[in-house]
Structure formats: C-alpha cells, structure tokens
Amino acid sequence: MKKYIVLICLAMMAALQACGTTGTGLLYIEPSVKQQDVAIRKVAVVPNRLPLNLQDPEKWRKYNFGVVKEEFTTRGFEVVDYESSVKTFEKSGLPVEDTKSSRDKYAELAQQLGVDAIVLPYYGTFGSSANFLFVNNTAFISVGTFQIFLTQKNDFFTRSDVSGKNQYTTGIGTVGGFVLLFASPPVGGIVIAAGTIFDLVQVLVPRDTRWQKAFKKGIQEGLKPFFVVYPAPRSTRLTEPQIVKESEPTPSSVSKSVFEK
C-alpha cells in the first residue's frame, strides 16, 4: 500500500509542477549613460495601443499600468496617474509605436508631466498548447518591452524585455490512475477521480485570471533587472561612483542578468 501512496504523491507533484506562473526579464543599457549619472524620482507610464489579441485592450492597458505603477511606488518612486499620462500623451502628437521621433518632443512631454523618466510599454500576447496522448498543456503567454526615456539625457537609456507565462496541464492524474488500475483497481479509481477533479478545477479558472497572472508575473520579474541597477529614487548625483559587481548588470548593450521565477 505504501508504494501506491508514493506513486499517488508523485503524480500529484507532477501535476502541480506542470501548473503555475513564471516570468523572465532581460535588460539592455545604453553604454554612454553611466549608472552614477542617472537621477530619477518621478516617472510617467504613457499609454500603449498595440494589439493585445485580447478583448477590451483598454482594460488590459489599465491593468498593466497598475502593475507597473506598483513596482515603482513600492520602491519609493513617484508615478503620474493614468488619466493625466493618457491626456498629456495624446496632446503631444507622439506616435505610440515608435521611439525614433524627435527627442525634443519627448523632452517636452516629460516637462509637461514633470517627470524624470518616461516609460513606454509595448505588450503582446499569444497562447500555446501541447498534447501527448491524454495529457494536455495549455499556456497563456504575455510579452512586453519597456523603453525608458531619461529626461536629463534627452534620450532613451534603457530597455527591459519581459515575458510571463501562466500554464496548466490536465490528464496526468487520469493517465496515472489507469496505470494503477492494473496493480490495484481501488487505488487506480481513486487517482482517476482525484485527477478528474483537479483537471476540472484548472479548466474552470477564468481566462482573464490567467492573463492577469501572466502579465503581472512577467512585469514583476521583467523589471527586476532594472531595479537592480536603479533600486531607489535619487535626485542628486552620487558623491562617489558606484561600484558595479560582476554579478550585477553592467553598463553594456546587453545586461548579464536574467531573472526567472
């Protein structure tokens, strides 16, 4: 009986491992902008109109804005409210899909908003599904890029590429239960019943909930490299250059730090 209990536990662990939410981030830094020269206290997150492949894009832009704002405010940065950012950006005449416009226009926008930096987010979504016999894996994947304009340098100085994935797998309990049926029909029946309930719970989770988890984890983990380099607000130049350890992102075209959780 003990070996059956062990097998059941292994099946449950496998099912749980196949479900969950992960996020990654990669930071790119303009090498000409030194870390000790960057002073940021207040930021604005401007709107984004790229297709999200989801219904009600505005809902998701506002949701993601809330996540980004929380990441900055919890570290002490000030963030301009959503409505003010949208109205001011719309009046600026700047395109929402291009950062090659006149830097003077971004500088003017930053002055109007009274910020040290402007965050331009770009979002996308896609899903994936993998099947093997009775086992099915479904993933909700969010991707994004955060271009950040630094007012004092009148240029974009860093970019964070982010990705989040919420996934679930069904059928593991059913397959394990059928295998156990040959050795112990009662135990196999219990595993099949438990697996069916587990699968039903996963399937009934609303799609919006899964997209929220994917976006939130992707943004949280994706911005971590940026906050490693710029962890807190600063309005004056450091008195001494900050030493960047080899394990931390260095001012180069591509950061060495990738965070995954």
For residue 81, what pLDDT is reported?
95
Q: Mean pLDDT, the chain, as a whole number?
A: 80
Please name every residue paired with 86 in a beta bridge, in sequence order, or none if there are none.
none
**Measured over all CA atoms, what is the biggest interatomic distance in the chain, rounded to whole angstroms?**
74
Give the domain extent around 139.
21-167+208-233
Structural domain count, the chain: 1
For residue 179, what pLDDT is reported?
67
Q: Quick one: pLDDT band at residue 244, thresholds 50, 70, 90?
A: very low
pTM: 0.76
- Counts for the chain of helices (H) and strands (E), in that order: 8, 7
Q: What phi and psi values does residue 168 have, to the nearest 5 degrees?
A: -145, 150
* Other CB atoms within 10 A of residue 207 CB: 12
Q: Domain for residue 202, yes or no?
A: no
Ranges of beta strands (E only) in the chain are 20-29, 42-45, 78-79, 117-132, 135-150, 155-170, 258-260
Q: Domain for residue 254, yes or no?
A: no
Of residues 83 and 253, the one with the higher pLDDT is 83
Q: Quick one: pLDDT band at residue 126, thresholds 50, 70, 90?
A: confident
pLDDT higher than 70, residue 114: yes
Instruction: Quote the percentage of the chain above a pLDDT of 70.
Output: 74
Q: Domain for residue 163, yes or no?
A: yes
Q: Domain for residue 110, yes or no?
A: yes
Residue with tokens 């900050």: 242
Pick from 70, 65, 117, 82: which is nearest to 234 by CA? 117
For residue 252, what pLDDT is reported?
38
Q: Domain for residue 203, yes or no?
A: no
What integer is the mean pLDDT of 4-20?
A: 55
What are the pLDDT digits (tens) for 173-203? 666 666 666 777 777 777 777 778 888 888 8
For residue 249, what pLDDT is reported?
41
Q: Domain for residue 149, yes or no?
A: yes
Q: What is the CATH number of the domain that holds 145?
A: 3.40.50.10610
For residue 25, what pLDDT is reported?
94
Q: Domain for residue 40, yes or no?
A: yes
Q: Domain for residue 143, yes or no?
A: yes
